[in-house]
Amino acid sequence: MAVEISKKPIHNIKSVSEKTGIAPVTLRAWERRYNFPVPQRTDTGYRLYSEHDIASLNWLKLQTESGLSIGQAIKLLSGLMETGENPLAHQINDQTILDPPHQSIEQVQPALVKALVELDEEKANRIMRTSFSMYPLETILLEIIAPTMVEVGDRWHRGNISVATEHFATHHCRLHLMHALEATNDIAKQGSIVAACAPHEWHELGILILVTILRLRGWNVTYLGANLSLDRLSEVLIQLKPQMVLFSATRKESAEALIPFAEVLEELPDPKPIIGLGGQAFLLNPSLTNKVPGTFLGPHADEAVQQIERMLAIRNPSL
């Protein structure tokens, strides 16, 4: 059950500073530079803040501690609210909405898996929405959604769950992931990356997680979707001028469909983009990297992000 957070302005700036650990001078600077928060004013000009303002500031502080700038964090919060993934609407008080003892992040992920395989959509939604209020977005992507989908996939491959259950879990995680991806649209961008699933590849959660994290870190990523055809792709890449192109493939057949991408590269002007490859197909069939142009980025999203940023830094040290 969502906790209502009062918007009644009752706290002065000293009280807000004590409750958030954010200095008054910083609060005033954020108000001046980012128009956030927007406190009410008394007749004598003193600022008054609400519980909602305090909840917002605590959430923003959490995001900045994970590496976002305050400007990025404010845009992320606005984006999440606009997409219906408002983390403040699910703040927890003394009684967490997660069933005890699922309160640490190590316990949240198994609880989410359990809810999904039991087809308990209401509980899975509560777990996800509470997670958005408690943890930085990148942590949610890497430590909750990614391992959840790996475990669900493993259970399906072992025959422990049905195809329908796997589809239910995938759809649920994809919905929250798309909200998070949309919320990163307004974050300041650097560089230029194009990402897509290989031809005949429809499993896109892995690359969506990667795209969202890269956008969250300030990279300008254009996502071209699942089952990308190579036909006339050179025209799009010439127009976008990416410094890097990322492909994901979970099936060997999909990865092999990327072999003709070498011809697409020949059509591009110099300097040609760096090509990054990810997905189970390349992990389970390492010899594919000898046939498909590009570099395998590693088995996990966090490793892939580090590899991408290293490669781009070498290409353009000013980024």
Residue pair 165/221 in contact (Cβ under 8 Å)? The answer is no
Does the bond joining 110 to the residue before it have cis omega, within 30 degrees of 0? no
Reported as a single tens digit per residue, the pLDDT across 14-40 is 999 999 999 998 999 999 988 999 999
pLDDT attached to residue 89: 63
**What mean pLDDT value characterizes the chain?**
87
- On the question of pLDDT at 95 being above 90, the answer is no
- The domain defined by 105-182 folds into 1.10.1240
- Would you place residue 4 in the very low, low, confident or very high pLDDT band (cuts 50, 70, 90)? low
- On the question of pLDDT at 212 being above 80, the answer is yes
For residue 134, give every residue at least 6 positions away whose Cβ sits within 8 Å of its Cβ, in sequence order, or none: 92
The domain spans of the chain are: 13-88, 105-182, 189-315
Of 102-106, 206-210, 289-293, the least confident: 102-106
pLDDT attached to residue 240: 94
- On the question of pLDDT at 96 being above 60, the answer is no
- On the question of pLDDT at 88 being above 80, the answer is no
Does the bond joining 37 to the residue before it have cis omega, within 30 degrees of 0? yes
For domain 189-315, the question of CATH label 3.30.70.1050 is answered with: no
- The domain defined by 13-88 folds into Multidrug-efflux Transporter Regulator; Chain: A; Domain 2 (1.10.1660)
Tell me the C-alpha to C-alpha distance, in Å, between residue 160 and each of 111, 154, 156: 17, 9, 6
CA dist., res. 269 & res. 272, Å (int): 6
CA dist., res. 224 & res. 233, Å (int): 10
Reported as a single tens digit per residue, the pLDDT across 291-305 is 999 999 998 888 999
Average pLDDT over residues 195-209: 94
Residue of higher predicted confidence among 319 and 56? 56
